[in-house]
């Protein structure tokens, strides 16, 4: 039986059982439309792809909760919308923190040289980057320092896009944890890296 001739009932049942072919079917059916939908809320293509990928991972973990393709589709669109809104709220919070921080710097002229402070923060950030595991560090540098896109890094390193995304997320998480342990708020190191 060809893929195109199998019924939606078949695919839903197979998806619920955890069949990887059914996941590929659902992914192929919804990935592009979800990226388009997320793109109406987010302006960065990489961020759009990351959001949609995160939603599919969440879907796969909940596969046995779905008994038909319409409920899967509904879950994908609602989850994509919620993830996009979360990202937008996170951006807003970071921008507010940066505004508050820059206001404090402008307001208090007590001899603090912004350039020195920035250099100190960057030094701490770079040291933490160098402490990352090799694969995560390489991927982090290729994306954030060299400006490569996720798929370009995957091609260059001959690994899957999923591995690149996982290693990028791991690097960011390890950096945040390491920097918070050093007393450096996340919004400050993001600001210095902009």
Q: Say which CATH class 113-193 falls into.
A: mainly alpha
Q: Look up the CATH number of domain 3-87.
A: 1.10.1740
Residue pair 45/66 in contact (Cβ under 8 Å)? The answer is no
Tell me what the mean pLDDT of segment 23-49 comes to. 90
> Which pLDDT tens digit goes with each residue over 121-143?
777 778 888 888 999 999 988 98
For residues 138, 141, 143, 148, the Cα torsion angle rounded to the nearest 10 degrees is -90
Tell me the backbone φ, ψ of residue 8, rounded to 5 degrees.
-65, -30
Residue 1 predicted with pLDDT over 50? no
- Report d(CA 141, CA 146) in Å as an integer: 6
What are the domain boundaries of the chain? 3-87, 113-193
CA dist 177 and 171 (Å) reads 10
Mean pLDDT of 55-73: 88
Residue 52 pLDDT class (50, 70, 90 cuts): very high
């Amino acid at each position: 039986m060809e893929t195109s001739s199998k019924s939606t009932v078949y695919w839903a049942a197979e998806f619920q059982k955890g069949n990887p072919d059914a996941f590929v079917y659902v992914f192929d059916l919804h990935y592009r439309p979800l990226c388009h939908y997320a793109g109406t809320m987010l302006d960065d293509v990489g961020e759009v792809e990351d959001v949609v990928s995160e939603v599919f991972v969440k879907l796969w973990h909940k596969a046995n909760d779905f008994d038909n393709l319409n409920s899967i589709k509904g879950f994908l669109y609602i989850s994509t919308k919620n993830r996009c809104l979360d990202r937008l709220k996170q951006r807003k919070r970071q921008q507010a923190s940066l505004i508050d921080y820059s206001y404090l710097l402008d307001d208090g002229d007590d001899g603090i040289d912004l350039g020195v402070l920035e250099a100190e923060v960057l030094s701490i950030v770079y040291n933490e980057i160098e402490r990352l595991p090799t694969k995560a560090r390489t991927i982090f540098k290729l994306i954030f320092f060299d400006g490569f896109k996720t798929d370009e890094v995957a091609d260059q390193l001959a690994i899957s896009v999923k591995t690149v995304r996982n290693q990028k997320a791991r690097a960011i998480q390890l950096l945040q944890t390491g920097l918070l342990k050093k007393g450096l708020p996340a919004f400050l190191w993001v600001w210095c890296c902009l």
